[in-house]
């Protein structure tokens, strides 16, 4: 459900054009990533979504740890990463 929401709601985010999308899954957001996020037209909906849903990675320039500090309800709850979802599908197949 969350993955469908992301695909439907976030058409053409700035991070989609990154040559290495893995930078969005770092444990610390670089100043360049923060600036890119802050100028993205989807900055607000991206941040709103990530402040309510425990998703891994950098969303609206904030890491999961930063978002957990603002919303303690996210602590201990984490949606599986895409790698984990893929691994689960491969194991069950």
**The dihedral of CA 34, 36, 38, 41: what is its sign?**
negative
Q: How far apart are CA 6 and CA 46, in angstroms?
A: 9
Whether the model clears a pTM of 0.85, i.e. scores above it, the answer is no
**What pLDDT score was predicted for residue 71?**
86
**What pLDDT score was predicted for residue 4?**
40
pLDDT by 10s per residue, the chain, length 93: 344 444 445 567 888 888 888 888 888 889 999 999 999 988 998 899 888 888 888 999 999 889 888 888 888 776 655 555 555 556 655
Q: For residue 40, what are its two tokens?
A: 């993205």
Q: How far apart are CA 82 and CA 6, in angstroms?
A: 13
**What pLDDT score was predicted for residue 19?**
85
């Amino acid at each position: 459900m969350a993955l469908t929401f992301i695909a439907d709601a976030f058409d053409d985010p700035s991070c989609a054009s990154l040559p290495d999308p893995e930078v969005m899954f770092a444990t610390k957001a670089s100043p360049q990533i923060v600036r890119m996020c802050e100028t993205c037209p989807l900055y607000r909906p991206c941040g709103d979504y990530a402040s309510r849903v425990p998703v891994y990675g950098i969303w609206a320039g904030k890491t999961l740890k930063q978002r957990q500090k603002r919303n303690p309800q996210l602590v201990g709850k984490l949606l599986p990463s895409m790698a984990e979802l893929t691994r689960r599908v491969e194991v069950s197949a």
